[in-house]
């Protein structure tokens, strides 16, 4: 039996174990005694009312309903649960954990965007471990850094990534558990599932670590953001409530699965309510439009993406859907099928929002979040969505806009505005005044992994997380002006929002993409510099740009430099590393 074959290697040195655990498939039903580990946390099958429990505890309630559709076929909630149980046991066997509870050991996994990701994540949690998702497009050195920094005990990799990750794991002395998916047929039947001994009643998941997601590293080496199961559940239930998720929803998933947007918003939310998630292994404008317009079931009702993806979808639309009757069909289909389209992870240019509305009839819902806080602010599902704003606080979230002052006894804070889901109160005389956005509540992460000093510095003395984003509350909604460090340009005594300048410039017919940066200036402190990608076949001079901008922009916000490039580099979530841009164009 496969289980016995693995156990005969447990006395080998760890480096040998990497080769011993070579590859395995989901075993045929009845091939091993799945009840071997008595105390595994995986046995809690129904959530306890009012308690914090991982999403997998809800899976069997949805039984044979389709959870995931990917390149390998359809996977029911029962499939995901039973396969996760088996992988959980394999994890414990490899790590010689007879109790079935890893007590927070880290499990890294490298999987494509398909059911194997969910199974690896759930199995890590069922084993009492902390999930550390890796991303296939990260360079090897970065993958090694994540595995080593998180102090992972094991790396799970699907068949196509085993050769890619094994040398790194061997170098670090960590075993690899290769995962080969043989389809969606569950290997554990109903009777076997029922035979699992129950774990302790309502295990205390609340303060257990759930996952470590690494920041993009714009302020140095990436930091591991450790979120607890309470943090994850608070984000999920807040979005489920505010965006009215139901089991009838069908979402198309095209985002990477190493960020909150892809992991929580687009995956755990639908799985929490029993909805269906269609997962594409890679983003393709053609495939997305095919899924949007397909007459077959299931029809997609929810879509979420970053602004760059919406821009690429519009480019495809312009090239392939030029006939009026086709455009009418696209608009009618999107209006009939979709109930919600969301944009996030980067600022949404107003021209993109307006054009998408013209194409589909949908006003994109903008929201605000980050790795450390999950989701904090959202425009309403029903009601007016203000272009460029990020709405109001989500359930359970408190936000504050404040200015920090340093004194002899430490920092003090002037509060401009503070609010929650119910209301926001503004300090008299400070209406519309910009400051740093602080966030508090159950969605806020526990710590930066193994970085106690940086964790301490990230919070105010009274427990508010400092986002590093400049924000303002006005007209009944919150607005993000950008990263305080790179998106706020101080020139000639003015504070200029680079994001606001970008929104204006994107309305120029010759500009396809833009990043506004603030290089140092001996006279003005900083100057406004626009890095621009032009539309195909277009030309633009600085004089022409400035003449055009005078009609709609304050004189001090108009760029004094124009840098034309073929492409503006963005990461997988559509974000621009402006510090790198500054170093590239202004190395001194």
pLDDT in the model for residue 24: 36
The C-alpha atoms of residue 82 and residue 231 are separated, in whole angstroms, by 25
pLDDT in the model for residue 358: 97
Q: Domain limits of the chain?
A: 51-61+73-205, 397-483, 488-585
pLDDT in the model for residue 252: 98
For residue range 250-287, list pLDDT tens digits in order: 999 999 999 999 999 999 999 999 999 999 999 999 99
Pairing assessment for the beta strands 224-228 and 250-253 based on DSSP bridges = unpaired
pLDDT in the model for residue 482: 82
CATH architecture of 51-61+73-205: 3-Layer(aba) Sandwich (3.40)
Instruction: Answer yes or no: are the C-beta atoms of 482 and 476 closer than 8 Å.
Output: no
Quote the pTM value.
0.82
- Is the pLDDT higher at 190 or at 53? 53
Assign 17 to helix, strand or coil: helix
* Structure tokens belonging to residue 355: 């054009």
Q: Binning pLDDT at 50, 70 and 90, where does residue 7 land?
A: very low
Q: Give, in degrees to the nearest 5, the angle at Cα 582 between 579 and 588.
A: 120
The pLDDT of 287-301, averaged and rounded, is 94
Instruction: Answer yes or no: are the C-beta atoms of 491 and 518 closer than 8 Å.
Output: yes
The C-alpha atoms of residue 308 and residue 2 are separated, in whole angstroms, by 46
Complete DSSP assignment for 223-283? -EEEEEHHHHHHHHHHHHHHTT--TT-EEEE-S-SSSHIIIIIIIIHHHHHT-EEEE-SS-
Instruction: Answer yes or no: are the C-beta atoms of 366 and 348 closer than 8 Å.
Output: yes
**Which helix (DSSP H) or strand (DSSP E) does residue 379 occupy?**
none
Beta-carbon contacts of residue 499 (< 8 Å; ≥ 6 apart): 347, 480, 481, 482, 487, 516
Complete DSSP assignment for 58-120? GGGGTTTSEEEEETTEEEEHHHHHHHHHHHHHHHHHHTT-TTS--TT-EEEEE--SSHHHHHH
Instruction: Answer yes or no: are the C-beta atoms of 400 and 460 closer than 8 Å.
Output: no
The pLDDT of 305-334, averaged and rounded, is 95
The C-alpha atoms of residue 433 and residue 473 are separated, in whole angstroms, by 8
pLDDT in the model for residue 491: 84
Assign 178 to helix, strand or coil: strand
For residue range 68-96, list pLDDT tens digits in order: 999 999 999 999 999 999 999 999 999 99
pLDDT in the model for residue 503: 86
**What is the distance of C-alpha 54 from the center of its chain?**
18
Pairing assessment for the beta strands 424-426 and 410-419 based on DSSP bridges = antiparallel
Instruction: Answer yes or no: are the C-beta atoms of 119 and 48 closer than 8 Å.
Output: no
Whether 51-61+73-205 shares its CATH topology with 488-585 is answered: no
Instruction: Answer yes or no: are the C-beta atoms of 118 and 80 closer than 8 Å.
Output: yes
CATH code at 488-585? 3.30.300.30
Tell whether the model's pLDDT for residue 16 goes beyond 50.
no
pLDDT in the model for residue 11: 27
pLDDT in the model for residue 2: 29
Tell whether the model's pLDDT for residue 186 goes beyond 50.
no
Q: Binning pLDDT at 50, 70 and 90, where does residue 180 land?
A: confident
For residue range 206-252, list pLDDT tens digits in order: 999 999 999 865 556 889 999 999 999 999 999 999 999 999 999 99
Tell whether the model's pLDDT for residue 381 goes beyond 90.
yes
397-483 fold: Luciferase; domain 3 (2.30.38)
- Is the pLDDT higher at 292 or at 574? 292
Q: Give, in degrees to the nearest 5, the angle at Cα 254 between 290 and 114.
A: 105
The pLDDT of 288-292, averaged and rounded, is 97
Mean pLDDT for the chain overall: 86
| Pick from 421, 419, 63: nearest CA to 247 | 63
The percent of residues above 70 in pLDDT, for the chain, comes to: 87
What do you get for the CA distance between the two ends of the chain, in Å? 64
Instruction: Answer yes or no: are the C-beta atoms of 343 and 305 closer than 8 Å.
Output: yes
Complete DSSP assignment for 110-168? E--SSHHHHHHHHHHHHTT-EEEE--TTS-HHHHHHHHHHTTEEEEEEEGGGHHHHHHH
Tokens 């504070």 belong to 495
pLDDT in the model for residue 521: 83
- Is the pLDDT higher at 204 or at 117? 117
């Amino acid at each position: 039996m496969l289980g016995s074959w693995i156990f005969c290697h447990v006395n080998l040195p760890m480096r040998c174990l990497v080769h011993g655990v070579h590859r395995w498939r989901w075993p045929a039903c009845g091939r091993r005694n799945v009840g071997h580990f008595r105390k595994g946390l995986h046995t809690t099958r129904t959530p306890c009312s009012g308690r914090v429990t991982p999403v997998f505890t809800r899976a069997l309630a949805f039984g044979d309903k389709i959870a995931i559709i990917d390149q390998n076929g359809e996977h029911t909630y029962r499939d995901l649960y039973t396969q996760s149980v088996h992988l959980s046991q394999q994890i414990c066997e490899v790590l010689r954990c007879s109790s079935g509870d890893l007590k927070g050991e880290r499990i890294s996994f490298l999987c494509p965007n398909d059911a194997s990701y969910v199974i690896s994540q759930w199995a890590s949690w069922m084993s009492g471990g902390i999930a550390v998702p890796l991303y296939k497009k990260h360079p090897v050195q970065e993958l090694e850094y994540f595995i080593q920094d998180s102090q992972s005990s094991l790396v799970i990799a699907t068949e196509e990534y085993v050769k890619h990750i094994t040398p790194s794991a061997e170098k670090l002395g960590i075993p690899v558990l290769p995962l080969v998916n043989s389809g969606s047929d569950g290997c554990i039947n109903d009777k076997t599932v029922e035979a699992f001994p129950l774990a302790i009643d309502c295990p205390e998941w609340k303060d257990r670590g759930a996952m470590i997601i690494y920041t993009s590293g714009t302020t140095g080496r990436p930091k591991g953001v450790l979120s607890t199961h309470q943090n994850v559940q608070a984000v999920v239930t807040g979005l489920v409530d505010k965006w009215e998720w139901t089991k009838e929803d069908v979402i198309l998933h095209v985002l990477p699965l190493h960020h909150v947007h892809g992991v929580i918003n687009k995956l755990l939310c639908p799985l929490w309510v029993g909805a269906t998630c269609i997962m594409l292994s890679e983003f393709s404008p053609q495939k997305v439009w095919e899924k949007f317009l397909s007459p077959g079931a299931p029809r997609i009702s929810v879509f979420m993406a970053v602004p760059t993806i919406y821009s690429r979808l519009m480019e495809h639309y312009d090239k392939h859907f030029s006939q009026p009757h086709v455009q009418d069909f696209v608009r009618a289909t999107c209006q009939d099928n979709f109930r919600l389209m969301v944009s996030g992870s980067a600022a949404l240019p107003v021209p993109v929002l307006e054009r998408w509305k013209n194409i589909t009839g949908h006003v994109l819902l903008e929201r605000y979040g980050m790795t450390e806080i999950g989701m904090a602010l959202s425009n309403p599902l029903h009601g007016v969505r203000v272009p460029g704003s990020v709405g109001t606080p989500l359930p359970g979230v408190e936000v504050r806009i404040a200015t920090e002052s340093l004194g002899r006894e430490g920092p003090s804070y002037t509060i401009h505005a503070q609010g929650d889901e119910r209301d926001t109160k503004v300090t008299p005389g400070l209406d519309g005044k910009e400051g740093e956005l602080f966030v508090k509540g159950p969605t806020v992460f526990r710590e930066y992994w193994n970085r106690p000093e940086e964790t301490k510095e990230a919070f105010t003395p009274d427990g508010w997380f400092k986002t590093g984003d400049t924000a303002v509350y006005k007209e009944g909604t919150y607005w993000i002006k950008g990263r305080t460090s790179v998106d706020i340009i101080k020139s000639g005594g003015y504070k200029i929002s680079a994001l606001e300048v970008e929104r204006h410039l994107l309305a120029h017919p010759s500009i396809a993409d833009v990043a506004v940066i603030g290089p140092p200036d001996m006279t003005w402190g900083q100057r406004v510099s626009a890095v621009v990608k032009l539309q195909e076949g277009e030309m633009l001079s600085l004089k022409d740009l400035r003449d055009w901008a005078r009609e709609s922009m304050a004189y001090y916000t108009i760029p004094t430099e124009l840098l034309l490039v073929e492409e503006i580099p963005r990461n997988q979530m559509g974000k621009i590393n402006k510090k790198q841009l500054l170093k590239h164009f202004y190395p001194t």
